[in-house]
Structure 1
Amino acid sequence: MARSENKESAGPTTRLVAGMARRMRARKGWTQEQLGDRIGFTASAVSAMETCAQPASDAMLVQLEAALGDGLGLFEQAREYVRLDKYPAQFKNYALLEQKALGLHLYATLVVHGLFQTEEYARALIGGGYPPLPEHRVEELVEARMARRALFEREPVALIEVVLEESVLRRTIGSEEIMRGQMRHLAGCARQRNVTLQVLPLDAGLSGEYAGARGGMELVETPEHDRLVYLEMQGESLLIKDPAKVSALTQRYARIRAQALDRRESLGLIEQLAGEQR
């Protein structure tokens, strides 16, 4: 259920869409119920969108474009930015960089990276976090996280590398059934030509060297060929642009990748773990 406090915290694009929809509906002489009938939503859902109590979903924006857009594409264009309004504050600045990146080099140490999560895994992870979130906020965040996967289908194609700690694969989130689905999804991702997925095994430190000790990171190559590093921990984030620091972290990432299993071994381990989930 939408909450009144959302009206105060709604982002600028959410407010803009609400105002556009309200004025364009009034211009056509429709009530909220009549608009709802045309787009497949209840009058209360339309009201929640127009008052910013609940941001428009991707599905609602598609239907608003068809019903109210008059061929201008305003609601279609707003989809990306409404989605940004739904992200946590520390992630918003990075989200656009991620979606436009030429290349991503990712290292995930605690849970499956958000780009590779299934909907069920994401819902269990977000819904089980602390502090607890209301159900409608969990669903907003799940929807926004799933929308990030459009990067895999984008043209021009993005080249994506990800190194996952083996402990990430063995940590059950939600249920064994959810983990089985997550493992199968990872295996499918690993077979895509633009994706390189490797697993850093639990015994990686037996040689006396463990390059991943300082935590996860995300290396980004922008369309302008700039290289940046994004770090996030405990609800705080840092975007590093200094070339010397980016270079040092890039070299560390290369060492992490070198200590990981190769692509074929990693896929074999993921398939094995999928089979072990009962």
Structure 2
Amino acid sequence: MTEEHGIYDAPSNPREAFAKALRDARRQRQAGRLSQTDLGRLSRTSKSTISRIEGGVPPIASHLPALFDQIFETDGHFKRLYEEVVNQSFPALFRRRMAMERQATAIFEWSPTIVPGLFQTAEYARALFRSSNPRATEDEIAGLMRARLARQELLRGEAPPSVRVVLCESVIRRRFGSRDMTREQLAVLVGLGERPTTRIQVLPLDAEPHLLMDGPITLLTAPNHATAVCVEAFRTSSINEDQEHVRAAMSACDDLTSEALSARKSAAFMRNEMESL
């Protein structure tokens, strides 16, 4: 673990680090040592769950880290450890992308095909993972969903990044899964667009041809104002920080936003689509 997280001599394996931190916090609690049964009761789970987590056995329910931080007054320590556990489940390049995403002060997303992962509902994500992993077990799908939903915590923090999203009209019109699932996903997008830090726009199907027609792209801007371009395709990902490439991508994204419907008209478009389902 890094010093910026305030963790000392932690194990290199994130799951082991989480297990050790929980054991230490439980045994060294200032208000008095807790048994596994006590901690299970305080965190509204069971002794066996606490024992399993302290033994480094997956999974860790996504709501528990915040409860542990509350119980032990650790100021987000367990939440940060949990993010490392989640990141470990992804290949190195994806882990780097997610680390950059967590630190970003501004995020721009363009998607011509699906709702980006940062804004997916649980059921939308489940349907995507099931279609792309037809042989996966329910536990494996659940693990992928937990990892996907954990990424969204950055949008709910005290200082969320400035987020701009442009979605192709086809993403809004596509009935992905059941009508109820599609309606729920659109409602989430409309709600996110009402936040002061988030703007969601829809690019009409009859928009002029543009440089980014062939795939999604993400721009991540770090606290030092450096911007990286992230591109994902089928089971692949790339991160490009070359300034010439970044400038071209930023210009293309500016073209998208100027061609897209305004945030207000985009919200109305999504609401109309919800009503038609």
So what's the TM-score if we normalise by structure 1? Answer: 0.81
Aligned to 2:7: none
1:17 and 1:181 map into 2 onto residues whose CA distance is 34
Cα shift at 1:24: 6.1
- Which of 42, 57, 61 aligns to 1:57? It is 61
1:12 aligns with 2:13: yes
2:234 and 2:35 map into 1 onto residues whose CA distance is 44
1:105 aligns with 2:103: no
Question: What secondary structure, in the 3-state scheme, does the structure 2 residue paired with 1:204 have?
Answer: coil
Aligned to 1:138: 141
Amino acid in structure 2 at the alignment position of 1:46: I
- Which of 117, 120, 143 aligns to 2:120? It is 117
1:76 and 1:130 map into 2 onto residues whose CA distance is 28
1:70 and 1:253 map into 2 onto residues whose CA distance is 42
- Which of 52, 62, 74 aligns to 1:48? It is 52
In structure 2, relative to structure 1, the CA distance for the partners of 1:32 and 1:116 (3 Å cut) is same
Question: What secondary structure, in the 3-state scheme, does the structure 2 residue paired with 1:238 have?
Answer: strand
- Superposed counterparts of 1:1-278, under 5 Å: 12-22=13-23, 35-65=39-69, 69=72, 74-87=77-90, 89-205=92-208, 209-277=209-277
Percent identical: 29
In structure 2, relative to structure 1, the CA distance for the partners of 1:71 and 1:192 (3 Å cut) is closer
2:75 and 2:199 map into 1 onto residues whose CA distance is 39
Cα shift at 1:64: 4.1
Amino acid in structure 1 at the alignment position of 2:233: M
Cα shift at 1:194: 1.9
> 1:180–1:274: 8 Å Cα contact kept in structure 2?
yes
> 1:211–1:256: 8 Å Cα contact kept in structure 2?
no
In structure 2, relative to structure 1, the CA distance for the partners of 1:194 and 1:244 (3 Å cut) is same
> 1:125–1:174: 8 Å Cα contact kept in structure 2?
no
CA RMSD between the two structures: 2.8
Which range is displaced more, 33-42 or 257-266?
33-42
Question: What secondary structure, in the 3-state scheme, does the structure 2 residue paired with 1:53 have?
Answer: coil
1:154 and 1:176 map into 2 onto residues whose CA distance is 31
The CA deviation string for residues 132-183 of structure 1, in whole angstroms up to 9 with x for no partner, is: 4322232233233223333334344422111101111122222110101111
Cα shift at 1:33: 5.4
5+ residue gaps, structure 2: 1-11
The CA deviation string for residues 34-92 of structure 1, in whole angstroms up to 9 with x for no partner, is: 6534533334433432343313223233444566x486975354233233234565421
Cα shift at 1:98: 1.3
Question: What secondary structure, in the 3-state scheme, does the structure 1 residue paired with 2:132 have?
Answer: coil
In structure 2, relative to structure 1, the CA distance for the partners of 1:174 and 1:89 (3 Å cut) is farther
Which range is displaced more, 96-105 or 44-53?
44-53
The CA deviation string for residues 201-238 of structure 1, in whole angstroms up to 9 with x for no partner, is: 22225xxx343323110011110110111111111111
Aligned to 2:5: none
Question: What secondary structure, in the 3-state scheme, does the structure 1 residue paired with 2:165 have?
Answer: strand
Cα shift at 1:22: 4.8
2:216 and 2:200 map into 1 onto residues whose CA distance is 15
2:73 and 2:216 map into 1 onto residues whose CA distance is 46
